[in-house]
Amino acid sequence: MSNNEKIVGFVGKKALRLASLLIIVCLASFMLIQYSPIDPVRAYIGEMPVTAEHKAKLEAYWGVNIPPQEKFLNWAGDILKGDFGTSLIYRVPVIDVIKERFTASLVLMGISWLFSGILGFALGIIAGAKQGTWVDKAIKIYCYALAAAPTFWLALILLIVFSVYLGWFPIGLRVPIGVTAENVTFFDWFKRLILPALTLSLLDIAKITMFTREKLIEVLSSDYVLFAKARGEKGLDLVLRHGIRNVALPAITLQFLGFSELFGGTVLVEQVFSYPGIGQTAVAAGLKSDVPLLLGIVIFSTLFVFFGNLIADIIYEFVDPRIKQQEALM
């Protein structure tokens, strides 16, 4: 099979998988919300007293009495046109809310993703190169402790220590209270981003560290590395020339495969630090019965995780076929 045929087949398979995934997620999410006790009319009017006539008009607008199948088809048709509806909480189009909040979350997730990848990879290289020493044991204990720590617990500990007791960082929020977004300085914004990003990145460090360590130990025990040692190569030069180059791409692939965990951790971290991102918005939409916003977030989070896995698959399939070959031999 030629490279062009392989690429076309890969793209076609992924497009079909994305379409089927979106259909299943949309149908499942819609039906779960449809048969839940959520009342969109009550969520819209809140505690305001309304007449029976006004309530009937709202029920007709939200399609309360329309059969679920017809309601789903109407909603799916609007989605295909790019109309995600209007948020009941913010009273603006859902797409505008998601655009603003998802951008804030992408900054948080991007910084934590890069930090966890770089630090985790470095610790894994050190642990693998120092296998069996006290350095290796200390790094493993650190990783096991992080892997066992719940996200919200670690976030609360960092918040209490560095914000409440030491006062080094603000307690939460993305901007200072009473200051408009236009008047926020880069320092104010970055200072409020440090603790959430640190919390989110610490949780992913353990996974990438242990993976990199095991891969490096495997590489250093391979035949070609033993041959390199016989030629006189040793120490840091050996690790740099033969270790890192064979471990980097598998580690990057694992980082992209962790997008779903990254998004899940973001929801909890944003709640603890009151960070106005997509995670906090999803929780608010669920608690306040904002059905259009909640369904829109489900769709965008599905796309986010899918494209993270897609990048990992591209590396797996095209950039470094050795990963595929190694798994086939196992």
Inside any domain, residue 308: yes
Q: Give the per-residue pLDDT at 115.
A: 85
Distance separating alpha carbons of residues 229 and 246, to the nearest angstrom: 17
The answer to whether the CB of 140 falls within 8 A of the CB of 127 is yes
Query: Does the structure show a pLDDT above 60 at 319?
Result: no
Pair (23, 157) in one structural domain: no
End residue of a domain, out of 55, 81, 107:
81
Inside any domain, residue 88: no
Least confident among 16-30, 178-192, 208-222, 273-287:
178-192
Triad 89, 93, 98: Cα angle to 5°? 80
Tokens matching residue 134: 């006290």
pLDDT classification of 325: cutoffs 50, 70, 90: very low
Put residue 229 in one of left, alpha, beta given phi > 0 → left and psi -120 to 50 → alpha. Answer: alpha
Print the domain residue range for 137: 95-328
Distance separating alpha carbons of residues 29 and 27, to the nearest angstrom: 6
Q: Measured between alpha carbons, how far is residue 239 from residues 19, 41, 163, 223, 254 in Å? A: 43, 63, 40, 14, 21
Over residues 114-147, the pLDDT tens digits come to 888 888 888 888 887 787 888 888 888 888 887 7
Pair (22, 106) in one structural domain: no
What is the residue whose two structure tokens read 């009017």? 45
Average pLDDT over residues 24-46: 74
Q: Give the per-residue pLDDT at 326.
A: 47
Pair (145, 26) in one structural domain: no
End residue of a domain, out of 21, 53, 81:
81
DSSP 86: B
Inside any domain, residue 142: yes
What is the residue whose two structure tokens read 């900054």? 107
Tokens matching residue 73: 């088809």
Pair (50, 174) in one structural domain: no
Pair (66, 182) in one structural domain: no
End residue of a domain, out of 26, 46, 81:
81
Q: Give the per-residue pLDDT at 63.
A: 65
Q: Measured between alpha carbons, how far is residue 132 from residues 127, 218, 330 in Å? A: 8, 14, 25
Inside any domain, residue 45: yes
Over residues 204-231, the pLDDT tens digits come to 788 888 888 888 877 777 766 666 666 6
3-state SS, residue 93: strand
Least confident among 41-50, 109-118, 134-143, 278-287:
41-50
Tally of CB atoms within 10 A around 193: 19
Pair (37, 170) in one structural domain: no
Q: Give the per-residue pLDDT at 104.
A: 82
Distance separating alpha carbons of residues 243 and 218, to the nearest angstrom: 9
The answer to whether the CB of 121 falls within 8 A of the CB of 208 is yes
Distance separating alpha carbons of residues 57 and 237, to the nearest angstrom: 75
Distance separating alpha carbons of residues 161 and 163, to the nearest angstrom: 6
Pair (147, 241) in one structural domain: yes
Average pLDDT over residues 22-30: 84
Inside any domain, residue 87: no
Inside any domain, residue 266: yes
Pair (160, 99) in one structural domain: yes
SS (H, E, C) 232-285: CCCHHHHHHHHHHHHHHHHHHHHHHHCHHHHHHHHHHHHHHHCCCCHHHHHHHH
Q: How far is CA 46 from the centre of its chain?
A: 32
Which amino acid does the sequence have at 321?
P
Average pLDDT over residues 48-70: 70
Pair (105, 62) in one structural domain: no
Closest Cα to residue 209, out of 115, 71, 116? 116
Pair (304, 208) in one structural domain: yes
Inside any domain, residue 90: no
Distance separating alpha carbons of residues 22 and 39, to the nearest angstrom: 25
Closest Cα to residue 251, out of 197, 202, 319, 299? 319
Average pLDDT over residues 89-102: 85
Q: Give the per-residue pLDDT at 62.
A: 63
Least confident among 82-96, 201-215, 252-266:
252-266
Q: Give the per-residue pLDDT at 88.
A: 76
Please state the length of the chain. 330
Pair (249, 115) in one structural domain: yes
Pair (44, 137) in one structural domain: no
pLDDT classification of 110: cutoffs 50, 70, 90: confident
Put residue 153 in one of left, alpha, beta given phi > 0 → left and psi -120 to 50 → alpha. Answer: alpha
Q: Give the per-residue pLDDT at 327.
A: 43
What is the residue whose two structure tokens read 């971290």? 269
Distance separating alpha carbons of residues 131 and 213, to the nearest angstrom: 9
Would you tell me the crossing angle of helices 278-287 and 259-273 to the nearest 10 degrees?
70
Give the count of domains, the chain.
2
3-state SS, residue 56: helix
Which CATH number belongs to the domain containing residue 299 in this structure?
Answer: 1.10.3720.10
Q: How confident is the prediction for the chain on average, in pLDDT?
A: 76
pLDDT classification of 328: cutoffs 50, 70, 90: very low
| Report field, pTM of the whole predicted structure over 0.85 | no
Inside any domain, residue 292: yes
